Chain A
Amino acid sequence: MGQVVLKGINKFYESVHAVKDVNLQIRDKEFVVFVGPSGCGKTTTLRMIAGLEAISSGDISIDGNVINALAPMDRDIAMVFQNYALYPHMSVYDNMAFGLKMRKFERREIEKRVREAADILGIGELLKRKPRQLSGGQRQRVALGRAIVRHPRVFLFDEPLSNLDAKLRVQMRVELKKLHLRLGTTAIYVTHDQVEAMTLGDRVVVMKDGVVQQVGEPLELYNQPANKFVAGFIGSPAMNFATVTVTEADGSLIAENSGLRIKLPDEIAQRLRGHVGREVILGVRPEDLTVASSADLDHPCFDAVIEVVEQLGSEILLDMKVGESNMVASVEPTARVRVADKLRVAMRRSRLHVFDAQTEAAI
């Protein structure tokens, strides 16, 4: 079992309120990812779960037992650190066996578990080496192995992939996912990389300034962001935002600013009835913008001038000037576009997002 419950967790560093009232229930076997920009409190939260930071107020419990006052060693957790934290003076075998030796396991049991973990991770050949003789990816595996051998109730990962190069990172990401499927141990993972969060997490917790912004499954965050921050943080390239004023004309709602004037589709218009005459923020993802054709007549359209064309092979990113603001569109690689072209761009009507201009919450 490995059910983790955070109840009203707060963390103060002297006058800095680093983590603000975090409430979260992590189910057994779940892979939960904390994501957010640096300084958002995600690592602090993880370290509080690990017992490396004291909790200022609130309760953390594992399987129903409050563990606030337990030492890290008594929480039955294992943690993988960003810099791996391998013991440099010990061989790979001793690194992996250290936790078991400290817990007074029998020699044979230790050896069995280390072999088992080494086989799973494909590092059976490296057991006699010292950490400095290993490559980055191998060190990463040893750090994982050290966590696995303990058979803990919860794995904690603190940005474990951020020291790897881009290619290896993608590879290890897949392996981590496989590993989790195989072991089924509850995992709490901290990262600043939204791609990692989306691909690894059963659920993702988005944090900013110590406050949980939204908790949900990856696609839920992508399709129904709770506020402008989540909308902008999840997805790459980031969502386009335009501050517009809502006006009423001929019974339908119009959103308009210096470069845009679009008729809002009915489903959004309904939600915006109360905002007529006020400013709201319109959000649309680059992949929901297309070069308008005759088939797009019922989608909101606007004019834009292309400033930069970025060929990615699988898609083309267009940096466009729309009135005084900029927008990015991701279009089919077959599109024929050149810098300084004037375009008519269509927004997929069902994929528009609207946020309150003051609170930035989704409307």
Chain B
Amino acid sequence: MIEGAIWRKWVFFYVPMALFLLFLLFPFYWMVITSVGELYRPWNSINYNPFWTWKPTWDHVRYLFEETLFASWLWNTTFIALASTAISLVCGVFAGYALSRLNFPFAGSLGTGIFITYLVPQTLLFIPLAEIIRNYRLGDTPWSLILTYPTFLIPFCTWLMMGYFKAVPRELEECARIDGASRWQAMLYIVIPVAIPGILSAGIFAFTLSWNEFIYALVFLSSPAQKTVSVGVTSELIRGDVFFWGPLMAGALLGSIPVAIAYSFFVEHYVAGLTGSVKG
């Protein structure tokens, strides 16, 4: 930044940054205001102001937990997201390692193939998957999602880990193997610990993707007690053409908190993972 040109910093940095933040944070603000505002607010009442409330209330949150199955939805979502993330991470780490380190025939084209499967839109894939879920009688159980989410999570994790493993110097592993480690031990003791930031980022991404997933959850789960947050909130709190805006927003807000925590908790590792920094 050029010295003395303070206005430049404002014009080119602070103002655009503020606009950007406003744009990103406004939906959250709207969710908060709506979820703690009065239940019914006629637009023509005195001092009507949709951006602020003078009588904050927990009614919507209470409604959410007492009148709906929100607590079970939260639990379902957590369980499903954690389980599918775990499966995908294990597969993704091993597949990524194999594709980036073991020189077997067609490793390159296999890697590309895996990436292409990630590009197949879920909106098409759910039709054949629904058939499979039905055949195995998994419909309306958490397993229908735990086993289908990896179809897009594994390619994603594999691809991410492949890139990360490529950034880990080959010599580390070679040195370990000369030092007396088998290939398996070298991977376990050296390569994987070094790749932890990458594994964490893949995990956070996978967790977020499955937490937010909508289509499969909507199609494969039908009874209210089995639903996830994203489906439960939208299907149970919109009755006919009546939107229960207060509880809806409270649900959306509570649903986004775990993801926000996951991000901010791992953010250091996560950024390190994205920039792929392995310092010897």
Contacts and interface: CB of A to CB of B under 8 A. Distances in A.
Interface stretch (A82-90, A173-181, A312-320, A332-340): A82-90
Max chain B Cβ within 10 angstroms of own Cβ: one of A79, A84, A85? A85
A107 interface: no
Contact of B175 (A75, A85, A139): A85
Interface in B153-175: 169, 171-172, 174-175
Nearest to A82: B171
Contacts of B193: 89
Interface string A64-89: 00000001110101110111111111
Given A102-B179, A102-B181, 5 more contacts: A72-B177, A81-B174, A83-B280, A86-B280, A98-B176
B179 A146 contact: yes
Given A83-B169, A88-B280, A102-B185, A52 B174 contact: yes
B280 A99 contact: no
A102 B189 CA distance: 10
B178 A139 contact: no
Interface string B172-216: 101111111110010001100110100000000000000000000
B279 interface: yes
A72 B174 contact: yes
B194 A81 contact: no
Contacts of B278: 88
Nearest to B193: A89
Interface of A: 50-52, 71-73, 75, 77-79, 81-89, 98-99, 102-103, 131-132, 139, 146, 150
Given A85-B171, A86-B280, A132-B279, A150 B177 contact: no
Nearest to A86: B280
Contact of A99 (B179, B182, B196): B179
Nearest to A78: B178
A50 B174 CA distance: 9
Contacts of B171: 81-83, 85
B280 A131 contact: yes
Contacts of A79: 174-175, 178
Contacts, number: 71
B169 to A, nearest CB: 6
A132 B194 CA distance: 13
Nearest to B175: A85
B3 to A, nearest CB: 33
25 contacts: A52-B178, A73-B178, A73-B179, A75-B178, A77-B178, A79-B178, A82-B171, A85-B169, A85-B171, A85-B172, A85-B174, A86-B280, A89-B193, A98-B179, A98-B181, A98-B189, A99-B179, A102-B176, A131-B280, A132-B279, A132-B280, A139-B280, A146-B175, A146-B179, A150-B179
Given A72-B174, A81-B174, A83-B169, A103 B280 contact: no
Nearest to A73: B180
A50 B178 contact: yes
Contact of B280 (A51, A84, A146, A150): A84
Nearest to A163: B280
A85 B180 contact: no
Max chain A Cβ within 10 angstroms of own Cβ: one of B172, B185, B193? B172
A87 B188 CA distance: 13
B154 to A, nearest CB: 26
A85 B175 CA distance: 7
B101 to A, nearest CB: 13
B180 to A, nearest CB: 4
B268 to A, nearest CB: 15
A83 B174 CA distance: 12
A327 to B, nearest CB: 42
Cβ-closest 10 pairs across A and B: A102-B180, A99-B179, A85-B171, A85-B175, A81-B171, A73-B180, A72-B178, A89-B193, A72-B177, A103-B180
A103 B176 CA distance: 12
A313 to B, nearest CB: 37
